[in-house]
Amino acid sequence: MKICQNCPCSSPSISLSSLASPCLNSELSLSLSLLLFPAESPTSPPLPARGTTGGKVSGVRGGVDVFLPSPSQPRGRFVLGRPRRLKVFSMALFIYFDYKAVQKRVKWVGAGKKDAIWTKTHERNARRVLNLMIELEGLWVKMGQYLSTRADVLPEPYINVLKQLQDSLPPRPLEEVRGTIEKELGKPMNDLFANFVLDPLATASIAQVHRATLVDGREVVVKIQHDGIKDIILEDLKNAKSLVEWIAWAEPQYNFNPMIDEWCKEAPKELDFNHEAENTKAVSSNLSRKTNCESGAVSSAVDVLIPEVIQSTDKVLILQYMDGIRLNDNDSLEAYGVDKQRLVEEITRAYAHQIYVDGFFNGDPHPGNFLVSKEPPHKPILLDFGLTKRISQSMRQALAKMFLSCAEGDHVALLSAFAEMGLKLRVDMPEQAMEIATVFFRQSTTANEAKENIKTLNDQRERNVKALQEKMKMNKKEVQRFNPVDAFPGDAIIFMRVLNLLRGLSASLNVRIVYLDIMRPFAESTLLGSMTRGPTANSQWIYDSPVNSEVESKLRNLLLELGSNKILGIQVCAYKDGKVIIDTAAGTLGKYDPRPVQPDSLFPVFSVTKGITAGMVHHLLNHTSGLHNALGDVMKSDPLLVCDWEEMLHQITKCTPETEPGSEQMYHYLSFGWLCGGIIEHASGKKLQEVLEEAIVHPLHINGELYIGIPPGVESRLAALTVDMEELEKLSGFRAGPDVPQELLSNVAQMATGLPVLFNTLNIRRAILPAANGHCSARALARYYAALGAGGAIPPPHSGGGSKPPLGSHVHTPKFPTMPSKKKKKGGSKNDVGVADKDGYTQLRTSDGSDEGSTVSAVVAGNGSGSGSSMFVDGGTKMLDAFMGVGDFSGMIHPNGKFGLGFRRYGYGAGAGEKVATTTFGHSGMGGSTGFCDVEHGLAMAVTVNKMSLGGVTRRVVRLVCEELGVPVPDEFSVAGDKGPDMVLNLAPPE
């Protein structure tokens, strides 16, 4: 065997740095660094380039030299036990108090000097950290290597100093290497290798790698584990655990015990090279196979290289040699013309494939674990699979759902993903949960943008802490001690670490990666591949419930015909002469939510809500107040202000009409709700939700299936909105109709695309928007219109063919966002809604009809007790006249207008000059959901959908039912009618 020293083949550019030791979780490491290196401190300019003389690094400012032993200098055995532990904790305390002292000092100096003070502080402590890590080696070197890649979040002095750890450490003696190889492989080295290069390609925390040639002529690299390293790593993990516990005690907001626990469990696996060999083979096989998915987004293998495994034992691993360039060798990357953007994108694709498609991924993607092929197209070479995590199919789907919910802004799907992966939150704060989750998938930043990125993350953290403090009604000390996470799954910890390491990789190469674009196809392939969409793929696409009538059987055939191309999720319910003849649910709750739609699922129904609101008052505005654009400017400047019910009621009082009240009928798309809601609350002395419960929900026995602003606890039943993209393209051909403000449709395509994102967020879903934020099931909505069509008479108990769960079975006292307290009027305590809980929600009091507050004022539609046979205090005939604007109420509606008092009047026999029918009324919502009743023919019907379109599905459903029953089809749903329910208010055909 030939032993080579200083051989050309040992050039650093062809190193195989697959030597990673166990490391703290990325979030733990990052949090440790942010604790020791406060985020509000500015970063410094780059340090000058360093030269080396012997083993000493020169050119470092500040009076603290960094000593790196040269390869020729011998190293002693690892320091074990109490001395090692003492060094770790004493240095941590020293740095901690140094920063605390500087934080106090900078308060008394001018702004111009603060930057310089922080720069020197970072440099000073970075060198202290580096010296300690070099002295201790083991786990701490690996931690330093990780931190040196986080140019996106760490001050630049730390990056400049810790980068030295990316270079090879001093090697172990050849005698030790020879002894390990011969003991593990059972043969003398002369019998194993024709050539063995003495100088290692790289030396890292747990092993070193030598280039060699086997006796059969194959070029290989040999990875040899350091003697005694296992005890060192296990002790370092124990010390790291203690350090994390101390930090959690000193700074409670940095409690990462669950994360270090996961690493204590996973890290020792990396010390078994047989385990690494099997992992390498598995990942190579996974990434080389073709991947097919329903969406077609992932159609071929990722374009990466992985060395072949030749032989392995517990402490020796022999791999195929691949000639490559190290990622930190920028000069060579430039010389070979490597496209760094494409390189990092391909690495990211490889990890997305491992995580979402295979469920088996390398948990340690730091720069040392990659090379770049010297041959065009310069493919990435993936190395070191010692720390490889296998996750279950359910976890893969949950991680995919978490990713896609962030991309879609869907709070409900995010919380569902959290539950599926085992992440439990102690506080109901979906907005902050979405914000934090989105941070993991944010676009990467370059090293040059690190300062601004640190400030952004710090500002976000402060906002979240403040929101938590307000939500939980805690003081500053209490909120620091409060951990909002009750349980954190270990699999998610490794996943988050990988994302952060990839982010650090892109920052170190100064490229910007849009993770949502690159990883999305792989996440979709996993989630959509697990969802049996459409009737042909899923026999349970239509919810299993008895068929109530022949017309329902034909309706289900129609839904099967339309299939998943036009339908995502749908509910249809109809009453005929007070009896249920249709109660059908089909499809899924969301684009990325495979759960089936059930009869009690809650759909957002937009302007259908106006019909509910109208049912709570006798005299209701008929869209002629002239306030159709009220608060438009306010909502433009702050769209989420609509979530503040009290503030919007206050703002509406300051608006002035644009047209003479009563002169023009213009659709009041949002202002309708605040105008009516204010009337309801002022006249009744009660909150809107309390009136809704007393006047409609309890009498109709539809508990838990009709809300205006959902309470916490019903998220699992919510359908998520999406858009029919094919129909969205048709919108460009339509103009604003004569009865809708042009401002509403200035960019209708953009509005239609943005609405699902906005209305899928829980803060909007929980807002009180009586014009647009109703959430209900079709069977609850149909029952409501069946009662209206019967003059307020309560229909018999819902007999939907035994559909389960039974309508009204969700017995609970709803809780809604606490309103700002106002001064109570004398003797007005009886009108209090309820008691505010510490979680920021008010629980509505239940009413049994015994108190005088149970009877809603005369202007409110309902007696509130739910014990009578009618919804209305006075005669139902007058109520129907008011809704249609006839009889005594004919003078209150706009001549030739399409609205009665609160409801849309539907006509028959489409064509010019047709007289508006006076027996059919209802209201539809943007995207296709609708509810109406035909008084003359005893028909009440509701359709709810979550795939927003121009209403084509709804029109076909209504037409089929009406034609089968021999009931005239309202113009709005006929072939000759305008485009879609509710769209008739918004769009007119092209001229």
Residue from 942, 600, 948, 645 nearest 770 by CA = 645
What gap in Å lies between CA 352 and CA 184, rounded to an integer?
Answer: 36
What gap in Å lies between CA 908 and CA 934, rounded to an integer?
Answer: 11
What gap in Å lies between CA 451 and CA 455, rounded to an integer?
Answer: 6
| Site of tokens 């993991």 | 440
DSSP 968-979: PPPGGGSTTS-S
Longest dimension (CA), the chain: 110
Residue from 78, 79, 88, 27 nearest 242 by CA = 88
50-51-55-60 Cα dihedral, nearest 10 degrees: -40
Q: How many CB atoms lie within 10 A of CB 877?
A: 12
Q: Does 364 qualify as catalytic in the annotation?
A: yes
What gap in Å lies between CA 209 and CA 200, rounded to an integer?
Answer: 5
What gap in Å lies between CA 332 and CA 441, rounded to an integer?
Answer: 30
What gap in Å lies between CA 318 and CA 694, rounded to an integer?
Answer: 75
| Site of tokens 């109208």 | 614
Q: Residue 621: helix, strand or coil by DSSP? A: coil
- Encode burial over 753-780: b for 16+ CB neighbours within 10 A, e otherwise: eebbbbbbbbbbbbbbbbbbbbbbbbbb
What gap in Å lies between CA 417 and CA 423, rounded to an integer?
Answer: 8
Number of residues in the chain: 991
- Within 8 A by CB and 6+ apart from 698, the residues are 847, 864, 865, 866
β-bridge mates for residue 424, sequence order: 487
Residue from 676, 566, 580 nearest 942 by CA = 580
Query: What phi and psi values does residue 360 have, to the nearest 5 degrees?
Result: -150, 105
What gap in Å lies between CA 22 and CA 31, rounded to an integer?
Answer: 17
What gap in Å lies between CA 71 and CA 161, rounded to an integer?
Answer: 20
Encoded tokens for 628: 């159709």
With contact defined as beta carbons under 8 Å apart, do 781 and 942 qualify? Answer: yes
Residue from 318, 408, 393, 382 nearest 355 by CA = 393
What gap in Å lies between CA 957 and CA 567, rounded to an integer?
Answer: 12
Query: What phi and psi values does residue 316 have, to the nearest 5 degrees?
Result: -135, 135
What gap in Å lies between CA 778 and CA 230, rounded to an integer?
Answer: 63
- Within 8 A by CB and 6+ apart from 361, the residues are 283, 351, 354, 355, 388, 389, 391, 494, 498
Q: Which residue type, as a one-letter code, is found at position 424?
A: K
Q: How many CB atoms lie within 10 A of CB 561?
A: 10
- Encode burial over 689-714: b for 16+ CB neighbours within 10 A, e otherwise: bbbbbbbbbbbbbbbbbbbbbbbbeb
Distances (CA, A) of 615 to 413, 563, 784: 32, 34, 9
Active-site choice (152, 236, 358, 364) = 364
Residue from 691, 697, 666, 667 nearest 679 by CA = 691
- Within 8 A by CB and 6+ apart from 475, the residues are 469
What angle (nearest 5°) sits at the alpha carbon of residue 923, between those of residues 918 and 929?
Answer: 135
Query: What phi and psi values does residue 404 have, to the nearest 5 degrees?
Result: -70, -30
Classify burial at 278, counting beta carbons within 10 Å of its beta carbon; exposed 0-12, middle 13-18, buried 19 or more.
middle
Provide the annotated active-site residues.
364
